[in-house]
Structure 1
Amino acid sequence: MENIEPLYDKKLQCPICSANFTSKKVRSKFIKVNTYDTDFCPVYEEGSINGLLYNVFVCPDCGYSYSEDFSKYFPPPTKENIQEKIQSHWTPHNFSQERTIPAALQTYKLAAYVASLKKEKHIVIAGLHLRTAWLYRMINKIEKEQRFMKMAIEEYSQSYSNEDYKGTQVSDVRILYLLGELSRRTNQYDEAIKYFSMVIERRKRSIETKLIEMALERYHEMKESKKQDKCN
């Protein structure tokens, strides 16, 4: 019987330099999640493959870094900007093998930089920053985790204001919940209560009942905590 490996090589062609390359992807049956943190960060079973490590593709020839969430469209003159800012300074580097968390962090930061040059949607950049924060959480780098959560808040806020999440799998309720939870985790409690309240206000017209329940739980926890602080 054939022994199936957890990782396989996905064949890709770089949209910038047209080089053919491969990048590791994880077969879904090998990703085993025990639970999720309240901001949806996966907590993997011991010995499970960390699926977060392989979300970003990096062209080894020119450094163009992207995920499956990137659009195929390049607004003018973004291709030229990427070639000038990244390709012309790139030292060939191969991220196509098994990755460690430090290597994956490099790929997310590269992808976020590319996304800003490419003028990707705020919702895409927010997702990159959030996953970067999760990886820092996994190695207990608290200050860096906080920094990237704050960067994610900024991008999610822009996405919500500009409604550039429309047409993606992310709903307004999910964005508002994440804005509340990330604000809570970065000690911006008034902002957190504001966003959780906005989620709760949508309970009669939203089908995302789990998110509403989670927002209610966080909201009541924070209100209770505020009461106790006042008593003390």
Structure 2
Amino acid sequence: MKEALYEKSNKCPICSNSFYSKKVRVSACRIDKRYEDFCISYKDINPLHYEILVCPHCGYAASENSFEKLSTKELHAIKDILSGKVVNRNFCVERSTNDALDSFKLALFFAKSRNAKNSIVAGLALKLAWIYREMKDEREHDFLLYALENYRIAYDKEDLPLGNLNEISVQYLLGELSRRLHKFSDAVFWFNKAVTNPERINNPRIEKLAREQWYDAKEQCKKI
């Protein structure tokens, strides 16, 4: 397991201390299964477990791609939250599934504390759901719903793309999350948007997935 990990240097934007975090080598990632909501199951080590950076000095946590992207207002808000707090846990080591879960909960807490975009909150909630799925924990449902609610708001209010999700991918994901939550009429609505989106020409994989899940959702609607 240790050979699959390497160390990366980081600097915390909150306390200005440097620290090393663990990352998974690409060569160590062996895919076992792909789920329709973009979740990937791995045979050995799961890189998702190491996606969140947690400063061992002050406790600030965020995904690697947003760790240092803080406005002055956000910076002060988080500093106020962490003022006087004592950090008694180190995430800069080999992580268990529970460690990964807690790192995402911390990242979600700080994202909400700084009023991050709904798309950022949604992405963290979705990945929390994936970790609960890995644990076969029913709380997966709660975070899928939270992700759906925030992606829906983000779709209406934010500029596209939402992170690495273009319009057709967001429409498809809204459909798939709705389907998984047994909101079948909503799922049909979003899958229909995806399969009629002009972007489908350049996104054949998403179009194929949308058509397959659209059919399934329509069949489920008939049973209600």
- TM, length-normalised to structure 1: 0.89
1:205 offset after TM fit, Å? 5.5
Counterpart secondary structure, 1:179: helix
1:25 to 11, 16, 23: 23
2:100 to 104, 109, 116: 104
Q: Does 1:202 align with 2:197?
A: yes
**d(CA) in 1 for partners of 2:182, 2:42:** 26
Partner of 2:124: 128
Aligned to 2:61: 65
Task: Say whether residues 1:82 and 2:39 are aligned partners.
Answer: no
Q: 2:165 aligns with which of 166, 170, 173?
A: 170
1:159 shift after superposition? 1.6
- Contact 2:184 2:220 (C-alpha < 8 Å) held by counterparts: no
Cα deviation for residue 119 of structure 1 reads: 3.1
Opposite residue 111 of structure 1, the aligned amino acid is A
Distance 2:216 2:132 in 1: 25
- Structure 1: runs of 5+ lacking an equivalent: none
Q: 1:35 to 1:82 in 2, by over 3 A?
A: same
* 3-state SS, counterpart of residue 3 of structure 2: coil
Task: Write the letter of the residue equivalent to 1:215.
Answer: A
RMSD: 1.9
The CA distance in 2 between the partners of 1:137 and 1:94, in whole Å, is 24
- Which one is further off, 65-74 or 105-114? 65-74
65-74 or 100-109, which deviates more: 65-74
2:91 aligns to what?
95
Inter-partner Cα distance in structure 1 for 2:31 and 2:102: 24
Counterpart CA distance in 2 for 1:60 and 1:218 is 43
1:187 positional shift:
1.3
Q: Among all aligned residue pairs of Structure 1 and Structure 2, give the percentage whose two residues are the same amino acid.
A: 34
1:151 aligns with 2:141: no
* 1:116 counterpart (100, 104, 112): 112
5+ residue gaps, structure 2, are none
How many equivalent residue pairs?
Answer: 223
What is the distance in 2 between the residues matched to 1:124 and 1:62?
A: 22
- SS of aligned partner of 2:27: helix
Partner of 1:189: 184
Query: 2:133 is matched with which residue?
Result: 137
Contact 1:203 1:209 in 2 (8 A): no
Q: What CA distance in whole angstroms lies between the structure 2 residues aligned with 1:86 and 1:64?
A: 8
**Are the structure 2 counterparts of residues 8 and 222 from structure 1 closer, same or farther at C-alpha, using a change threshold of 3 Å?**
same
Partner of 2:33: 35
